[in-house]
Structure 1
Amino acid sequence: MTVTIYDVAREAGVSMATVSRVVNNNPNVKPQTRKKVFEAIERLGYRPNAVARGLASKKTTTVGVVIPDIANAIFAEVARGIEDIANMYHYNIILCNADKRKDKEIRVINTLLEKQVDGLLFMGGAVTEEHVQAFKTSNVPIVLCATTDEKSTIPSVDIDHEAAAFDAVNRLIQEGHTSIAMISGTLQDPANGYARYQGYKRAIEEAGLPYREEFVRVGNYKYESGIDAMQYFLDLNERPTAIFSATDEMAIGAIHCIQDAGLNVPEDVSVISVDNSRISSMVRPLLTTVAQPMYDIGAVSMRLLTKLMKKETVENAKVTLPHELITRRSVTGPKGK
């Protein structure tokens, strides 16, 4: 049988109101009485009914988090930042994996809202009109985490992805490269895809280099797509001397493809990317990459959401965190220069 607040009150010899005050940390309880109630709770194994408390207070102290790929170390780091701040402010997390599929993202958003979460953090790719419509049905705050909406109307925390890509490609240009190819994410993805592609293109054009369509291949963020794209570049009559990859995982696929072809990185082909995930310092040569502060993105997103949930004043609901170029060993000047 489930132990109820009535059972605890009878065991401790106090009223149910007194037990409720103890459970809810009300200071208006004598220390001796509080001790007696806690001892009764421990003996009986009583657990407060969070659902019932939520119905009474209209708060569940629960936040829903939609994550694109729970197996990706980048998103795991974001989730860690979210969890740490959530614990600090006494919120529980419901983490849902959406597999980077729009239909599943919409379904998960609606499921979390039906569970009466107090707020929602959305990590995903493109924020489409369907997403916006799902958000509009909510009466709780929503923060976009590591992504933004096209019109910048929804609170968000992210980096400037175009600037990050520009800095990465500009580093290759500074090393003397003029034949620079890109392994892009899907261009329907506003951040990892389109914005980073725009940064690549802007760096090429501002350096006075020709933009070549055959030097851009679209991948799916996975290691295998990095291999496929790199094989395509190696098969060109005029292959590039440097590769900019939209993500570390695709960059490592490219590095391994180059090495399998009997070539060396960076002597034959330089490789640079964006993310600075843990694997960027595990591959050989060590990968030069632009670091996203993924933990901070998660932590700042959760802090922004707590302010919105508590109806505190928020001066800036669109937060852009800084990125940093991490120089390692996968980039050098082209051969013969």
Structure 2
Amino acid sequence: MAKVSISTVSRVVNNPLSVRKEKRERVLQAIQELSYEPNPFASGLRDKRSMTIVAMIPDITNPFYAELFRGIEDMARAKKNNVIICNTDENEIRFLEYMAYFKKKKIDGMIFASGPITKTYFESFDNLKIPVVLVATQSEEFNLPFVKVNDFQASYDAACFLIKNGHKSIGMISADINDPIAGKPRWEGFRNAMLDHQLPFDKNQVVFGDLHFDSGYEAMRKLYGLMPEITAVFAASDTMALGAMAFLQRRGIDVPRQISVIGFDNLNLSRMVTPALTTVSQPIYQMGKESTDLLYQWIETGQKPDKSLLLEHQIIVRDTVWNRN
């Protein structure tokens, strides 16, 4: 129909500028008339790729990871690739079982979300000999590209927002201190904001949890017992913030007039509750897309990206912080 060789058709599809305009137009016209679509699987066979990546997350029930995965999958689908989702449940044995499986089944790369990167984890990644990009976590010890927000600065800003609204007796509901994202850096951001404003800070102002709703409820119960004079709480996740609000409301404590609450994440759920939750927004969906884009850069070029990405955060002001000035 176009009166050209198969190799010319291939060049038009994959590198059109390498073909003279007259030939290129004939081939494109034929492609349109035949309703031709490139077969990504065949392309994968040619390039020795599986056209499949893995998204490894710690807790599939957490709405944070649902939004993160949506970004990962949308970027993969734009590349006509498949995504295998693995729920590690923050269990090392389960993680190693997954890694043993992927040693036998070819995959092109992996997105690893949120967990700490131990030596065991890094060696497992290295043994697979595939690109691995981190999202919502990072490793100071091992050189892996990552996409996240500046958790220290975001938490610092959250505490400063409470302070600017006239709060001085402020508590925090934190993730485990060993958590490289929602734990230590967010705890340090909160602590530094308090100290920089010459406000008291001691161990009774922070209660540790596990990022879940029930954990937030129990942490708020404990924090209120330790700090009955408290006027505001910063929670290291929206789900813990909602748990804290549930405790306060059950005790008949008005949110925000008596105790204000600010969360972290800006999950869709945070705008649906009453009162709507003021929170630190991190671009979760964008984090999923950007980390996957970084992964494909590595897969397609064979070169590890020489930079990681810190995305912008912002305070989303809703109805749970009272101005006491």
Q: Same fold (TM over 0.5)?
A: yes
- Among candidates 79, 82, 96, match of residue 72 of structure 2: 82
Change (3 A) 1:326 1:152: farther
More moved, 177-186 vs 96-105: 96-105
Aligned match of 1:282: 272
Deviation string 1:108-146 (CA, Å, 9 cap, x unpaired) is 234234311011111132111111111111221110011
Q: Partners of 1:154 and 1:73 in 2: how far apart?
A: 25
Q: RMSD of aligned C-alpha atoms?
A: 2.9
1:263 equivalenced with 2:244 (yes/no): no
Change (3 A) 1:198 1:67: same
Amino acid at match of 2:56: V
More moved, 314-323 vs 287-296: 314-323
Change (3 A) 1:315 1:305: closer
Amino acid at match of 1:115: K
1:162 equivalenced with 2:178 (yes/no): no
Aligned match of 1:4: none
Aligned match of 1:294: 284
- Among candidates 93, 98, 113, match of residue 108 of structure 1: 98
Given that 1:215 and 1:240 are in contact with CA atoms closer than 8 Å, whether structure 2 keeps it comes out as no
Three-state SS of the structure 1 residue aligned to 2:182 is helix
Q: Partners of 1:274 and 1:237 in 2: how far apart?
A: 22
Question: Any stretches of 5+ residues in structure 2 without a counterpart?
Answer: 1-5, 15-23
Aligned match of 1:145: 135
What is the deviation of 1:85? 1.1
Q: Partners of 2:94 and 2:177 in 1: how far apart?
A: 20
Change (3 A) 1:238 1:54: same
Aligned match of 1:224: 214
- Among candidates 217, 221, 235, match of residue 245 of structure 1: 235
Given that 1:64 and 1:112 are in contact with CA atoms closer than 8 Å, whether structure 2 keeps it comes out as no
Aligned match of 2:83: 93
Given that 2:117 and 2:138 are in contact with CA atoms closer than 8 Å, whether structure 1 keeps it comes out as yes
Given that 2:205 and 2:227 are in contact with CA atoms closer than 8 Å, whether structure 1 keeps it comes out as no
Three-state SS of the structure 1 residue aligned to 2:173 is strand
Aligned match of 1:333: 323
Q: Partners of 1:59 and 1:266 in 2: how far apart?
A: 54
- Among candidates 112, 115, 118, match of residue 122 of structure 1: 112
Deviation string 1:130-179 (CA, Å, 9 cap, x unpaired) is 11111111221110011111236101111101111111111011111111
What is the deviation of 1:232? 1.2
Three-state SS of the structure 2 residue aligned to 1:243 is strand
1:171 equivalenced with 2:146 (yes/no): no
1:177-196, aligned counterparts within 5 Å?
177-196=167-186
The higher radius of gyration belongs to 1
Deviation string 1:294-325 (CA, Å, 9 cap, x unpaired) is 11001011111111001166764311110111
Three-state SS of the structure 2 residue aligned to 1:235 is helix
Aligned match of 1:41: none
Three-state SS of the structure 1 residue aligned to 2:220 is helix
Q: Partners of 1:65 and 1:229 in 2: how far apart?
A: 31
Q: Partners of 1:113 and 1:163 in 2: how far apart?
A: 38
What is the deviation of 1:326? 0.2
What is the deviation of 1:333? 3.3
Amino acid at match of 1:213: K
Runs of 4+ in 1 over 4 A off after TM superposition: 25-28, 52-57, 312-316
Change (3 A) 1:236 1:57: closer
Q: Partners of 1:85 and 1:214 in 2: how far apart?
A: 44
1:21-36, aligned counterparts within 5 Å?
none
Question: Any stretches of 5+ residues in structure 1 without a counterpart?
Answer: 1-17, 39-47
Aligned match of 1:273: 263
Q: Partners of 1:252 and 1:71 in 2: how far apart?
A: 16
Given that 2:114 and 2:181 are in contact with CA atoms closer than 8 Å, whether structure 1 keeps it comes out as no
Q: Partners of 2:305 and 2:224 in 1: how far apart?
A: 50
Aligned match of 1:5: none
- Among candidates 157, 178, 187, match of residue 197 of structure 1: 187
Three-state SS of the structure 2 residue aligned to 1:143 is strand
What is the deviation of 1:220? 1.0
Q: Partners of 1:102 and 1:272 in 2: how far apart?
A: 32
1:53-92, aligned counterparts within 5 Å?
57-92=47-82
Amino acid at match of 1:171: F
